[in-house]
Amino acid sequence: MKIGIVGASGYTGGELLRILLLHPKVEVAVAVSREYAGEYLFRVHPNLRGVTDLKFSPLDVSKITGQCDVVFTATPHGASVKLVPDFLKMGLKVLDLGADFRLKSPADYKTWYGWDHTTPELLKEAVYGLPELHRNEIRNAKLVAVPGCMSTAAILELAPLVKAGVVDTGRIVVDEKIGSTGAGGKPSLSTHHAERFGVVRPYKLAGHRHTAEIEQELSALAGGQVIVSMSAHAVNMVRGILSTAHLFLTKPLTATDVWKTFRGLYASEPFIRLVKDIKGVYRLPDPKIVIGSNFCDLGFELDSHANRLVVVSAIDNLMKGAAGQAVQDLNIMIGIDEKTGLEMPGYHPV
């Protein structure tokens, strides 16, 4: 399969290149960057020096459609909606890593993103690319909307419990802490080293856009409206997300019950690990351990005093939260082992 990547110079584009250049079943044919057209990939992604001599190309839809079978769009929100219809018309499969096709209701784009969706008919066709919930639909999809990084962390920790009907779906609190790569590669005052280093900075305590995805997917599982109260914090790490969910039980649960609930949904999932150890330093999920991998680690603690269940998830925001999950989706779409190109553990130490 010949692959094109639009937005190949960003952090997510770089991770796609890192994975796909060594993927045994695909070939990267076109890597698009308006800013760096004509430059070698390794000038922007120095970790790729000696791996490829490919150069960035300017955006040329006819070149992409002529040379590629599949295209990844790793562009800012609102950009891919202008490109994807043309790719689809030319018969390409598309995996969009932006938010432009994640939400099913066109009205939600006005509410959460402040713009009217120009191709609402494609929202019905797009498949939300979370394999643990939508593997069968992804298999036959032409357009996959790769989930947001915070959405992925939250949905995976909440889905089994919401589906089982054991928590109050009107009272779910999610606190997420994310590394600096979550802000992308374009510098700003808030991402300047002197301002970003050492922080635990609340930056979106209410109204985070990923709330819409989380509620959409959980409501479908619950068969009714699920309300999520989400808050986000920027923390002093480069990569990774730790999501902590506070859930209030509608029936008594033991630790064994919780284990069974998670295993009931995730027993055969290749990239879900349940982490609740009694020894060692890393007894519960920690982003430090999943960096560079496509794993999502899940753990929990019961709080009988407050009738509360605390669930934590850890992912690499650039891998399971973006590029790794997109390649997992690609593998499913083209009918190969979904672990292909992704069977690497995280780094330790990092």
Q: What is the pLDDT of residues 57-96, one digit of tens each?
A: 999 999 999 999 999 999 999 999 999 999 999 999 999 9
Helix (H) or strand (E) segment spanning residue 233: strand 228-235
pLDDT for 251 equals: 94
In this structure, the answer to whether residues 110 and 123 fall within a common structural domain is yes
User: What percentage of the chain carries pLDDT values higher than 70?
Assistant: 100
Could you write out the DSSP letters of every residue in 105-152?
A: -HHHHHHHTSS--S-THHHHH-EE--HHHHHHHHHT-SEEEPPPHHHH
346 falls within a domain? no
Whether 105 is covered by a domain: the verdict is yes
Confidence of residue 49 (pLDDT cuts 50, 70, 90): very high
> What is the CATH classification number for the domain harbouring 196?
3.30.360.10
| Structural domains of the chain, count | 2
* Eight-state DSSP code of residue 292: T
Residue 68 among the catalytic residues: no
Residue 268 belongs to some domain of the structure: yes
pLDDT at residue 52 in the model: 97
Both 140 and 154 in a single domain? no
Q: What is the pLDDT of residues 156-215, one digit of tens each?
A: 999 999 999 999 999 999 999 999 999 888 888 888 889 989 999 999 999 999 999 999
In a domain, 288, yes or no: yes
pTM of the model: 0.97
Is 188 a member of any domain?
yes
Mean residue pLDDT across the chain: 96
Q: Assign residue 327 the CATH number of its domain.
A: 3.40.50.720
pLDDT exceeds 90 at position 329: yes
Q: What pLDDT is stored for residue 274 in this prediction?
A: 98
3-state secondary structure of 297: strand
| pLDDT (0 to 100) of residue 80 | 95
Name the residue range of residue 194's domain: 150-315
CA-based nearest residue to 344, from 270, 237, 287, 262: 270
Kindly state whether residue 341 falls inside one of the protein's structural domains. no
Regarding whether 29 and 121 lie in a shared domain, the answer is yes
Amino acid 273: pLDDT: 98
Would you say residue 330 has pLDDT above 90? yes
Residues 302 and 161 in one domain: yes
9 in the same domain as 155: no
**H-type helices in the chain, by residue range?**
11-20, 41-44, 61-67, 84-89, 106-112, 121-125, 131-139, 149-164, 193-196, 210-222, 255-266, 287-290, 323-333
Residue 252 and residue 112 in one domain: no
82 and 120 in a common domain = yes
Question: What's the Cα-to-Cα distance from 316 to each of 107, 177, 186, 204, 305, rounded to whole Å?
Answer: 31, 12, 20, 20, 32
Residues 30 and 155 in one domain: no
Specify whether 199 is located in the same domain as 85: no
Distance in angstroms (rounded) separating the CA atoms of residues 78 and 76: 6
Q: For residues 345 and 143, give the distance between their C-alpha atoms in angstroms, rounded to a whole number.
A: 29
Predicted confidence at residue 183, as pLDDT, reads 85
List of residues 6+ apart from 178 with CB closer than 8 A: 149, 150, 232, 233, 234, 235, 240, 241, 317
Would you say residue 206 lies in a domain? yes
- CA gap 184, 159 in Å, rounded: 28
Please compute the mean of the pLDDT values over residues 43-56 and round it to a whole number.
97
DSSP for 236-279? S-SS-EEEEEEEEBSS---HHHHHHHHHHHHTT-TTEEE---SS
Are 163 and 299 in a shared domain? yes
Q: What is the DSSP letter of 286?
A: -
Q: How far apart are CA 285 and CA 12, in angstroms?
A: 23
Catalytic residue among 149, 174, 228, 253: 149
Clarify whether residues 110 and 193 are in a common domain: no
**Amino acid at position 214, single letter:** I
Residue 91 lies in a domain: yes
- Same domain? For 133 and 222 the reply is no
User: Distance between alpha carbon 35 and the CA centroid of its chain, in Å?
Assistant: 25
- Report the pLDDT value the prediction gives residue 304, as an integer from 0 to 100: 95
The answer to whether 105 and 126 are in contact (CB under 8 A) is no
Tokens of 247: 């859930």
Give the per-residue pLDDT at 69: 98
Residue pLDDT, tens place only, 256-279: 999 999 999 999 999 999 999 999
